[in-house]
Chain A
C-alpha cells in the first residue's frame, strides 16, 4: 500500500477515517516508520489540545442518569456474584488478589473483582474527557 495522505493520517488519528481505508492505514502504520512518526506527532498535538479545553457541557439531567445507571449496574453485578458464590467454602479459603496493575486504568479486574470494576467506572467518570469521542 502507498503511504496514506496526510489528511488521511489526521482522520485516522481522530478515529474518523471510514472503511476500508481505516483498516488499510492501520495495517500500514504498523510497519511504516515514517508514517508512524507523523502519526505520533499528530497524536501529541491532539493530546495537548484535548487537555486544554474542558469537554462540551452536558446537562445534568442527561448526565446524572448515566452515572446512577452505572452505579446500579455495578451494584447488580456485585449482588449476582454474592448470590452465585458457593456457600460451603470458608470466606477466606479462595481469597486471592483481585487486581493487577494496568497502564491505562491503574488496575484491572481479573474476572471476579466486581467492586474493582465499580471503582474503575467511578474513576472513568471523573476523567475530564470521559465518554467523549
Chain B
C-alpha cells in the first residue's frame, strides 16, 4: 500500500519517483487544515484524511502529475469532502421524506430515486445556462480540467472563467432549493 509511486511526467531528465506516503507526509498539516476548515470536526477530519490517503494510494500507479503533486492532492481532498456532502444531502432528504410521512421505500431504492431526482434538476439548470457558462461547466465536469486549464483552453482570463462558473453554480443552486 505504501510503496505506490507517483511519476512526475514531462521532465527533461528521467522523472524522479516519489511515493504516496512522501506526498502525504509533506502536506499532512496543510491537508488537515483544509479538511478541518471544511468540516470543523476533529474526528471527521481524521476520517476524511484516511479516505484521501486511500484514494491517493490506489490512484498513483496511473498518474502523470506534471510536477503539481500538491495540487492533485488538494483536489482529491475537495472531492472526498464533496462525496461526503453528497451522501449527507441524500440522507437528509430521505429523513425529510420520512418525516413528511411519504411512503417509505427500501433505503437503497430511496437513495437512488433521490439521486435521480437531483440529477434531473441539475440537468435542467445546465440546459438553461448561457452558452459561455455551459462551456465552462462542461469542460469542468466532463474533461475534469482545472479552472486554469479551462481558461487556457477557451482563451479567456482565469477571472472570467471563475465568474462564469460562479454564475452557473448560482443558477444550479436556485434550482436545488428543495434540497436544502
8 Å CB contact of A52 from B48, B55, B122: B122
Instruction: Select from chain A the residue with minimum beta-carbon distance to B161.
Output: A7
A103 with B61, Cβ < 8 A, contacts A124-B54, A132-B144 known: no
Interface residues on A, range: 35 or more
A124 touches B119 (CB 8 A): no
A103 touches B44 (CB 8 A): yes
A130 with B55, Cβ < 8 A, contacts A42-B169, A47-B86, A56-B144 known: yes
B78 touches A14 (CB 8 A): yes
B122 touches A48 (CB 8 A): yes
A27 with B33, Cβ < 8 A, contacts A15-B76, A44-B173 known: yes
Using a CB-CB cutoff of 8 Å, which residues 78-109 of chain B contact chain A? Answer: 78-86, 89
Instruction: Select from chain B the residue with minimum beta-carbon distance to A57.
Output: B142
A73 with B51, Cβ < 8 A, contacts A29-B37, A47-B82 known: no
**B23 interface residue, CB < 8 Å from A?**
no
- Residues of B near A125 (CB, < 8 A) are 58
B9 to chain A, nearest CB (A): 14
A105 with B78, Cβ < 8 A, contacts A49-B169, A52-B119, A53-B142 known: no
B82 touches A46 (CB 8 A): yes
A73 with B1, Cβ < 8 A, contacts A46-B82, A47-B89 known: yes
**B8 interface residue, CB < 8 Å from A?**
no
C-alpha gap A56/B3 in the complex (Å): 26
C-alpha gap A103/B91 in the complex (Å): 11
C-alpha gap A57/B92 in the complex (Å): 30
C-alpha gap A79/B81 in the complex (Å): 32
B172 touches A49 (CB 8 A): yes
C-alpha gap A43/B146 in the complex (Å): 16
A104 with B84, Cβ < 8 A, contacts A45-B172, A73-B1 known: yes
- Residues of B near A103 (CB, < 8 A) are 44, 47, 84
**A22 interface residue, CB < 8 Å from B?**
yes
- Chain B residues packing against A (C-beta within 8 Å): 1, 4, 30, 33-34, 36-37, 40, 44, 47-48, 50-51, 54-55, 57-59, 61-62, 71-72, 74-86, 89, 115, 118-119, 121-123, 126, 137, 140-144, 146-148, 159, 162-163, 165-166, 169-170, 172-173, 176, 179-180
Give me 7 other A-B pairs in contact (C-beta within 8 A), A17-B74, A70-B58, A129-B79 excluded: A30-B36, A45-B176, A51-B115, A65-B61, A70-B57, A129-B82, A133-B76
Closest 6 CB pairs of A and B: A133-B75, A15-B78, A131-B59, A15-B74, A45-B169, A26-B37
What are 22 sample pairs from A and B whose C-beta atoms fall under 8 A apart?
A: A10-B166, A14-B78, A15-B77, A16-B146, A16-B147, A22-B34, A23-B33, A45-B173, A48-B121, A48-B172, A49-B172, A51-B115, A51-B119, A74-B1, A102-B47, A103-B47, A104-B50, A120-B54, A124-B58, A127-B83, A131-B55, A131-B58
